[in-house]
A and B are shown apart, each in its own frame.
Chain A
């Protein structure tokens, strides 16, 4: 009966629409909840809230583990971004400009860190660093160096992918013109190629930064006393308690990453990275 009254296909559109709305609610709901709860007045989270306050942000800022975690995460992400650009840009240049047959093999190796699960790669690197420590007597595991090594690896495929795509997409004639006019290869690279792939570089760098900053699985094995990253500090706290303080910390992270992404979006449309 009902189907006669509705236009043809209304049931299909309603079903698809409902599921799509549900999907977007599932994506946005948890983040919106975290932000909302961080302003709740009561220490024990209950709905509806008794009132609202900003005091949990101050409380979170007073906790050394979160301040330390933030500092560690920022330094590690900056160092990993620098390392992934330093190694990734020359590799991308090679991949985009070579006709060597082994190119695809090299490319698969460089994208490898994306394929190996974080927990497996983290375990492997952790055991490797401890073995190296036993051999040399120098501490590697649970140091900033070890963390940066692990994080540069997860950032590297992003840099290689985004910068290679930019190099392939750029107009090669400018490079050739510069070379014909007598510019040396290095001059061509720094004066013509790099400016032309600016947006790819920015995107590669910012993605590296974000991927490193929020990483959890790989860092689990690599952190130690004094070198705990912010996501690890959050998850350690969550195993014992859930309160507005941790929601404030999480909201701060959400705000920071949103800022980075808005900045990225101005030079490089985020939607193109996927």
Chain B
């Protein structure tokens, strides 16, 4: 999958040959080829983003949606109100927790794919990671709703094994949201890590083993440091996607569990407060962007260019 701004863009650039474009250069109209795509992105994304940037600085009048006024009020309202600060904090916490869990599960899973003994096992495990990714979030959230409901499999197992006397409330808890989010985001982590792990030759682990290092030490001191850039870009991607999650908090968190993305939707479509919805969207984007830049600075200092 593509890592927003981190690896996808630079990887693709690296694959382009610097060689001269001998044949095409003389073709008339060649420079016009990217124009339709650029127009599409311009009309469908860049102009609209400009519009909501302006709207986030507008005044809200419930009787009139037309753009009016110039004020920082929407942002002040967000940061001045403990309720909204808490929503941002919860969003950050859920995204960070999901990222940590994705790392804990994703590293062994990607390692299993990358070091699989047979090619068939390898492609079977890879498909197991790719297939859920392409099924959509609605369908996967449904799976968790069934598993975690009061009479769901998890509760049946708990009461059946005598671990709980009565069904435990699992739905509409932060745990349910995080669990379903981890499952949604895990393929991104596994696929990012697997491609990085593949590029690390097993020779290094073998060398460490020959020198007498036990497997854990070889993994910890030889393999993981080499894999650090991959761990970083995978975590970043998963964190960004986690911050912007919609289906999991709405369906498994219930109406009392507020996160940023669902709140953007509520403010825009239900409250019809476009200025505040725009400001929320920009806070969400900015929080993601700032954390991305900060963390890549810290990691670049430590591990060199990623």
Contacts and interface: CB of A to CB of B under 8 A. Distances in A.
Contacts of A88: 37
B15 to A, nearest CB: 5
Contacts of A9: 214-216
Contacts of A114: 2, 4, 8
A181 to B, nearest CB: 12
Interface string A58-99: 000000000000000000000000010011101101111111
B265 A235 contact: no
A11 B215 CA distance: 9
B47 A217 contact: no
Contacts of B21: 97-99
B152 to A, nearest CB: 7
A131 B128 contact: no
Interface in A144-191: 149-150, 152-153, 156-157, 160-161, 164-165, 168, 172, 175-176, 179, 185, 188
A33 B146 contact: yes
A124 B23 CA distance: 41
A37 interface: yes
The A interface, classified by DSSP as helix, strand, loop or mixed, is: helix
Given A90-B33, A185-B27, A24 B142 contact: no
The range of chain B's interface size is 35 or more
Interface in B184-208: 186-187, 190-191, 195
A268 to B, nearest CB: 13
A253 B66 CA distance: 40
Nearest to B66: A134
Nearest to A44: B151
Interface string A24-50: 101111111110010000001111100
Nearest to A13: B215
B2 A29 contact: no
Nearest to B136: A214
The B interface, classified by DSSP as helix, strand, loop or mixed, is: helix
Contacts of B128: 24, 27-28
A178 to B, nearest CB: 9
Given A110-B34, A114-B8, A185-B24, A120 B285 contact: yes
Contact of A126 (B41, B244, B268): B268
Interface in B128-157: 128-132, 134-147, 149, 151-153, 156
A99 B191 contact: no
A113 B285 contact: no
7 contacts: A20-B112, A44-B151, A107-B9, A214-B134, A231-B137, A246-B142, A253-B136
Interface of A: 8-9, 11-13, 15-20, 22-24, 26-34, 37, 44-48, 83, 86-88, 90-91, 93-100, 103-104, 106-121, 123-128, 131, 134, 149-150, 152-153, 156-157, 160-161, 164-165, 168, 172, 175-176, 179, 185, 188, 210, 213-217, 220-221, 231-232, 234-235, 238-239, 242, 246-247, 250, 253-254, 257-258, 261, 270-271, 274
Given A9-B214, A253-B139, 7 more contacts: A20-B108, A31-B132, A87-B37, A164-B12, A215-B136, A221-B265, A235-B141
